[in-house]
A and B are shown apart, each in its own frame.
Chain A
Amino acid sequence: MRYVIIGNSAAAIGTVSGIREIDSAGEITIISDEKYHTYSRPLISYWLEGRVSDKNIYYRPDDYYEKNGVKTVLGKKVTKIDTANKSVVLEDGLSVPYDKLMVATGSKPFVPPMNGLDKVHYHTFMSYDSAKAIRSELKDGMKVLIIGAGLIGLKAAEALSEHNVDITVIDMADRVLPSILDARAAQKMQRHIEAHGVKFILGTSAEELTEHSAKLKNGSTVEFDMLIVAVGVRPNTELVADAGGKVERGIITDQTQKTSLDDIYSAGDCTVSHDESSDSEKILALLPNAYMQGEVAGRNMAGRESYYLNAIPMNAIGFWGVHIISAGSYDGEEFVEETESTYKKLVFRDNRLVGYILLGNVARAGIYTSMIKEKIDLNEVDVDLLKQKPQMMMFGKARREEKLGGIVR
C-alpha cells in the first residue's frame, strides 16, 4: 500500500500515527512545500519571542520519519492531484503515485485588499519562514503595526514585545480576539495587554497604506517601520477543488475524513468539521482537531473503520501570563462570574453545558470540555459544583469510580 500525505504538520503526523496503528509495512510519503522537518506551527510565536529554541520548534524528534518509515519530499509544492492515474504531480513535473492520499494542506494567511498594500513591504505570521523573516528585520526601537487583533496578531504582538519595539494593533472589529471571547472578556484581555505597552486602535481599518504609514478610516494615521498582516486565514482547498472534489468553505469530508473523491482523505485546517456544540459546519482550525482528524483518516486509509466525532471549537492560549481557555458554543443561557483578574462564562442549552470561556483562572478546564463533548445531562451532575469550578466532585460516586478508579459497576 502506498500512502501519500500532502502536508507536514499536525494533521499529517496524525495521519502517519493512524496508519501505523494498523499498517506497519505500507509506504508513506510526506510531501510539503516547506523545507523543514515537521515543526509546530503554533510555536513560531514562542520562537520569535525567544522562548523556544531552534531545536525545540520541531513537533517530533529528529528520527521521527526514520522510526515511522516515512519518506519525505520537502520543499516541493504539489500542483495537481491526478485522480485518473492516482498520482500527485509536483511543481517540478515529477509525479508520485498513491493508493490512498491525504490532503493536509492547512491554510494560508488571508490578506484582504488594501489600497497601497502592493507597494508596501509587509509580513504575514503563519510559517517558520515568516517568523524568520520578521526576526531578521527586527531592529531596536522599531514601530510595528499589526493589522488584526485575533489570535495570530496578538501572539505576534506578544512575541515582539520581548524585543524592544513599539507595537500598535488595529482591527476592524471593536474588540480583541472576537473569535474566542465575548465583549466583556475581550475588554479585560485588552486592558491586560495594554498594560504591557501594546496600543490598540479598534473598530477601524487601514484606508491607505504607504511605505511607512497607514491612514485609517477613522482619520488618524499610524507610522510604522514594519507591517504585519494577520487578519485571518483561508483553507488551502485548491488541489481538491481542481480535482473535482466537493469544497465549500473548506474541503468537505465524511466522518471517516474521506473527501468526495475516491481514496482521497483530508484533515486539519483545510477541512470543514461538524461542530457538535452548535450543530453546524465550521472550519475548526485548531491543532488537536487536525491531529485527531489525521489519526482517524489514517486508520481508514489503512483499512480500519474509524470516525471523527464530537468535534467542538476549543482554544487554549495565553497572553503575558494570562490564560484563556474556551470551548463550544456561546449560544444559550449564560452563567457569568467575574473578579478583578478572572472571568468565567458558562453557556447552557438543552439542559447541557455547551460552551464556556475561562480567563485568568483556567485550572482543570478540560472537565468542562469533556462535559460538552460527552453531552452530559445536567441532571447527572451537581450544577452548583459545576458552576463553582471544574471538579470531579460534581459527578456522582458511580461515575467518579468509573472515571477515576477504573471501576465499572
Chain B
Amino acid sequence: MKKVYVNEDWCLACHLCEYYCAAANSGAANMVAAFRNGKKPVSRIQVEEGDKVNFAVQCRHCDGKPCVRGCIAGALSIVDGVVCCDENKCVGCGTCVLSCPFGCVVFDEANHRIQKCDLCLKNHDGEPACVQGCPNKAIVFEER
C-alpha cells in the first residue's frame, strides 16, 4: 500500500506540509480562505524539529491499528487499509491519542473531535497535499 514517508535527510522544518494539510482538510476553497480571520485549521501532519534533524510525522496506517481497536465511538475504521475517521461519530474523547504509538492523532478542539491523516482520500487525486507541498521532496508517497 502506498503511504506517506518522510526522509529526514531532506526535511527542512519549513512546516509547509502542515499548512498544506490543514488547508486541504479545512474544506475551504484555498489556503488564504482556510486561515482567514485568525482561523487555525488543524494539520494532521506534524513536524518535529531537532538540532540537526527534522521530520514530519503522520499516521502510519500501521498494522496494529490500536486507534481503531480502541475507538469508543466506532468512529475510526479501516477503508482499503487506510485508517479513516467518521467525523460525525467522533466525540473527541482522546482514546486514540492515548493509543497511537506515533502520536499521529491530533485534537480538533474547535469541533470536539480528532483529526488524522487519511492520505487525502477526500481532497486530492493521487498525491496527498503534504507531499505536493513539500518544497524539497522530503515527503514522498510510495510503496515500501
Interface residues of A (CB under 8 A from B): 10, 14, 40, 42-43, 46, 51-52, 56, 58-61, 287-288, 291-292, 295, 314-318, 321, 323, 325, 327, 362-367, 369-370, 374, 390-393, 397, 400, 403-407
Contact = CB atoms under 8 A, between A and B. Distances in A.
B90 to A, nearest CB: 9
Nearest to B48: A393
Contact of B105 (A314, A317, A366): A366
B53 interface: yes
Contact of B55 (A61, A366, A400, A407): A400
Given A366-B98, A390-B103, 13 more contacts: A56-B89, A288-B66, A291-B69, A295-B69, A363-B107, A365-B94, A365-B97, A392-B55, A393-B50, A393-B53, A397-B8, A404-B55, A406-B5
Interface in B66-99: 66, 69-70, 72-74, 88-89, 91-99
B98 A365 contact: yes
Given A366-B102, A369-B101, A390-B103, A323 B72 contact: no
A306 B88 CA distance: 34
Contacts of B69: 14, 288, 291-292, 295
Given A363-B106, A364-B103, A404-B5, A287 B70 contact: yes
Contacts of B96: 366
Given A56-B88, A406-B144, A317 B93 contact: yes
B91 A291 contact: no
Contact of B57 (A58, A287, A404): A404
A404 B60 contact: yes
A318 B93 contact: yes
B82 to A, nearest CB: 16
Given A59-B74, A316-B98, A369-B101, A405 B91 contact: no
B94 A43 contact: no
B48 A366 contact: no
20 contacts: A10-B72, A43-B73, A60-B74, A288-B69, A288-B95, A316-B95, A325-B94, A325-B97, A363-B106, A363-B107, A364-B46, A365-B103, A366-B96, A366-B98, A391-B103, A393-B53, A400-B55, A403-B101, A403-B102, A406-B5
Nearest to A38: B74
Interface of B: 3, 5-8, 46, 48-50, 53, 55, 57, 60, 66, 69-70, 72-74, 88-89, 91-107, 109, 112, 144
Contacts of B97: 316, 323, 325, 362-366
B48 A363 contact: no
Contacts of A400: 8, 55
B94 A317 contact: yes
Contacts of A291: 69-70
Contacts of A390: 103
Nearest to A364: B103
Contacts of B98: 314-316, 325, 327, 362, 365-366, 369
Which secondary structure dominates where chain A touches chain B? mixed
Contacts of A43: 72-73, 91
Contacts of B5: 404-406
Contact of B53 (A42, A325, A363, A397): A397
A291 B5 CA distance: 30
A46 B91 contact: yes
B77 to A, nearest CB: 9
B65 to A, nearest CB: 11
A51 B88 CA distance: 10
B94 A362 contact: yes
B144 A287 contact: no
Contacts of B70: 287-288, 291-292
B66 A405 contact: no
Given A287-B70, A288-B66, A393-B50, A363 B91 contact: no
B109 to A, nearest CB: 7
A367 B107 contact: no
B144 A369 contact: no
B99 A369 contact: yes
Contacts of A316: 93-95, 97-98
Contact of B94 (A295, A323, A370, A406): A323
A52 B72 CA distance: 12
A75 B68 CA distance: 28
A393 B46 CA distance: 12
Nearest to B95: A316
Contact of B48 (A56, A321, A391, A407): A391
B61 to A, nearest CB: 11
Nearest to A289: B70
A294 to B, nearest CB: 10
B78 to A, nearest CB: 11
Contacts of A364: 46, 97, 100, 103-104
A151 B74 CA distance: 20
